Amino acid sequence: DIVMTQSPDSLAVSLGERATIDCKSSQSVLYSSNNKNYLAWYQQKPGQPPKLLISWASTRDSGVPDRFSGGGSGTDFTLTISSLQAEDVAVYYCQQYYSNPPTFGGGTRVEIK
């Protein structure tokens, strides 16, 4: 299985400041034939299911605010919240869907400083 490692485990950011979460995969999730990274990001608020934010490493899902952006390629990826809002307090997960079984990172908790 591909192991997904997120860092940090948690971070506290002031309102309006930037939050950056890293995700590393144990092998590349870049499919060379279509040059796509098979990586998604999810946001999970307490008591709610995960919500898809980004697929293909950088494609925002419909309705996701543009302060959320995804980047990276191969084995190293980043989720950035450009200007943290109170409603962004949540746990964020990366997930690879390059190979079965799909696997998730351990999650990063984002809080307000």
Please give the span between the terminal C-alpha atoms of the chain, in angstroms, as a whole number. Answer: 36
Rounded Cα–Cα distance for residues 49 and 57 (Å): 20
Residue from 60, 71, 74, 106 touching other proteins (CB under 8 A): that is: 106
Span from 14-22, 63-71, 77-85, 98-106 in contact with other proteins (CB under 8 A): 98-106
Residues numbered 27 to 46 that lie near other proteins (CB under 8 A) are 38, 40
Span from 11-19, 21-29, 51-59, 72-80 in contact with other proteins (CB under 8 A): 51-59
Residue 95 sits in the site that holds other proteins (CB under 8 A): yes
* Distances from the Cα of 6 to the Cα of 23, 35, 86, 87, angstroms: 4, 23, 22, 21
* Distances from the Cα of 25 to the Cα of 2, 43, 53, 73, angstroms: 7, 19, 19, 10
Q: Which residues bind other proteins (CB under 8 A)?
A: 38, 40, 48-52, 55, 61, 93, 95, 97-107
